[in-house]
């Protein structure tokens, strides 16, 4: 039996003061915003199905089934926002190609690695919205599967 240092968890009350509190605050704000969005979608769906009788009389779709489809659509919208934001733009790709071609002729030119380092993965405003939508869609799917 090997005896060594006793195990101490890395997250202790002493270490909580040293943790990055901005990351925890950002995650909790994103989760709170996604809960608000999911609750709003949930309430609007049930309000529409309770006030509009033709929605339930002409179709076999219930409000809980609509929550499932809305959860999928919200997740898809969030993923599409993720695909459209961030990353390397076409102008940066063109500039990197031109820089690599110019670097072949002269060594004093800014190379493509410097261009990509400057422009790579800068959020363009929709990243947080996409995260909120994806988390709201997951919450809607969880509420659907709990309610069936």
In the chain, what are the domain boundaries?
22-86+124-148, 87-122
pLDDT digits (tens, 9 = 90+) for 6-56: 666 566 665 655 556 777 788 889 999 999 999 999 999 989 888 877 766
pLDDT tops 60 at residue 122 = no
Give the mean pLDDT of the chain: 76
pLDDT digits (tens, 9 = 90+) for 80-90: 887 765 555 66
DSSP conformational letter for 124: -
Tokens 């929709």 identify what position? 126
pLDDT tops 90 at residue 137 = yes
Query: For the chain, what's the residue count?
Result: 148
- The 3-state DSSP class for residue 108 equals coil
Neighbours of 103 (CB within 10 A): 14
User: For 86-108, what is the mean pLDDT?
Assistant: 64
| 73 Cβ contact partners less than 8 Å away, ≥ 6 residues apart | 137
* pTM of the entire predicted model: 0.64
């Amino acid at each position: 039996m090997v005896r060594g240092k006793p195990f101490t968890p890395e997250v202790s009350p002493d270490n909580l003061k040293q943790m990055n509190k901005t990351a925890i605050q950002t995650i909790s704000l994103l989760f709170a915003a996604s809960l608000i969005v999911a609750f709003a979608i949930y309430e609007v769906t049930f309000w529409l199905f309770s006030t509009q009788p033709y929605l339930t009389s002409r179709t076999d779709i219930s409000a809980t089934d609509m929550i499932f489809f809305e959860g999928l659509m919200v997740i898809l919208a969030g993923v599409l926002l993720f695909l459209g934001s961030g990353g390397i733009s076409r102008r940066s790709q063109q500039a990197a190609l031109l820089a690599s071609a110019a670097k072949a002729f002269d060594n004093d030119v800014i190379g493509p690695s410097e261009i990509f380092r400057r422009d790579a993965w800068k959020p363009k405003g929709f990243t947080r919205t996409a995260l909120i939508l994806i988390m709201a869609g997951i919450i809607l799917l969880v509420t659907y599967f709990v309610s069936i």
